[in-house]
Amino acid sequence: MIKVSFDSIFKTVLKAVGVLMLLLLAGIFVTLVIDSLPAMKAAGFAFFTGTTWDPVFKEYGSLVFLVGTLLTSFLALAISLPFSLAIAIFLGEYFRSGLVSSFLKSAIELMAGIPSVIFGMWGLFVLVPLVRQVEMQFGVAPYGIGILTASLILAVMIIPYSASISSDVVNLVPADLKEAALSLGATRYEMIKKVVLPSARSGIFAGVLLSLGRAIGETMAVTMVIGNANILPTSIFSPANTMASIIANEFAEATDAVYISCLIEVGLLLMMVTLVISMIGRYIMHRMKI
């Protein structure tokens, strides 16, 4: 009886926490919508398709920030994914325990806890000069700052999230499946490729989704190295802006009511993009499990 009572209490608490989180999410969404109404009335649908952001002439178009956000986030994801998978396989298959494993896991946890402003400073003093040299080799304007630099910073920042989850999932693949593959004559590489990765793909994708959400919402590090140019990027070397960086740069100096409302609507757009990507990711995860 006592066990049943504790189980029911625990389930009730979990349900209450879930309802509270849904109410909190709904409250944030409603607040952003209400505060965005002046911008919706002033700019209309052109807010989402316009490419000009000029508060002086009251022209507000957020497409440049949407493109900048998606470019930096997905490019960072593409750069980080091979490293995340390599770390996951290394920790989950080759060094599950021991000094090397403990050191690498501690390093990953430490990287996840470093403030983003530190990554931004490191990017300014280390990555920007290196990217400038690369740009000179390709014959483009040697800004140093831009989409590529921001993506590299983001890639370093999101590796701990996907690598940590992926390594845990790889480690949880049943040993019986691995031993069966090896007993049938498969090499260790073939076993990892055809047994471990397919079995862990849902969890690996969950880690990728978490890291992508982290990249989309990153503010300070990106603001410091992306160039803060309110233009559509023409290449990965171009300076740009993201939805998070434009809010961080201009919200404190915004005085006009419509201007403030437009920045809030950018925040609403950022929230909607994050929710849509999360829903798509969950659908893909569900299909993977099937």
- Amino acid 12: pLDDT: 81
Average pLDDT over residues 92-117: 82
CA distances from residue 263 to 104, 207, 259 in whole angstroms, order as listed: 41, 30, 6
CA distances from residue 92 to 88, 169, 219, 257 in whole angstroms, order as listed: 6, 8, 32, 53
pTM for this entry = 0.87
- Taking residue 78's Cβ as centre, other Cβ atoms within 10 Å add up to 11
Nearest to 240 by CA among 113, 147, 138, 150: 147
Nearest to 218 by CA among 164, 163, 274, 166: 274
Of the ranges 54-58, 146-150, 193-197, which is most confident?
146-150
- Amino acid 113: pLDDT: 83
What's the mean per-residue pLDDT of the chain? 86
- Amino acid 1: pLDDT: 46
**What DSSP string runs through 255-289?**
-SHHHHHHHHHHHHHHHHHHHHHHHHHHHHHHHHH
Which carries the bigger pLDDT value, residue 169 or residue 4?
169
Q: List pLDDT tens digits, range 210-221.
A: 889 889 988 889
Domain residue spans of the chain: 62-256+271-289
Q: How confident is the model at residue 288 (pLDDT cuts 50, 70, 90)?
A: low
pLDDT at 4 over 60: no
- Amino acid 186: pLDDT: 82
Distance CA 265, CA 48 (A): 10
- Amino acid 5: pLDDT: 65
The CATH code for residues 62-256+271-289 is 1.10.3720.10
- Amino acid 256: pLDDT: 86
pLDDT at 184 over 50: yes
- Amino acid 152: pLDDT: 94
Lowest mean pLDDT among 22-31, 77-86, 129-138, 162-171: 162-171
pLDDT at 273 over 60: yes
Pair of tokens at residue 211: 């890291």
Main-chain phi, psi angles of 59, to 5 degrees:
-110, 120
DSSP-assigned beta bridge partners for residue 53: 60
Average pLDDT over residues 145-162: 92
3-state secondary structure of 49: helix
